[in-house]
């Protein structure tokens, strides 16, 4: 959730401020702190999302060896 919050700006104030930290101005050319936060959040999401979807595939269903059990699901 914190990775998504780095992208959420409050445009009801002028200049636009980051929702998670109002001291950071959104997309300011003079202060690229928000740009660095966005790049870090994209990098974190790029690592987390493929692992969250691909790693559970080899956990239970594919490694179960007992043929008498007919319950095939991948646990959370």
Residue pair 60/75 in contact (Cβ under 8 Å)? The answer is yes
pTM: 0.58
Q: Each residue of 19-58: pLDDT tens digit?
A: 878 888 888 887 788 888 888 888 988 888 887 777 666 5
Q: What residues does each domain of the chain span? A: 2-58
Q: Name the one residue in this structure whose structure tokens are 């594919």.
A: 62
- 25 phi and psi, to 5 degrees? -80, 135
pLDDT of 52-75, one tens digit each?
777 666 555 555 556 676 665 555
Mean pLDDT, residues 4-12: 82
């Amino acid at each position: 959730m914190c990775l998504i919050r780095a992208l959420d700006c409050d445009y009801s104030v002028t200049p636009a401020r980051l929702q998670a930290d109002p001291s950071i101005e959104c997309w300011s050319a003079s202060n690229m702190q928000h740009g660095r936060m966005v790049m870090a959040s994209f990098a974190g999401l790029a690592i987390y999302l493929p692992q969250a979807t691909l790693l559970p595939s080899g956990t239970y269903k594919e490694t179960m060896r007992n043929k008498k059990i007919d319950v095939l699901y991948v646990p959370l």
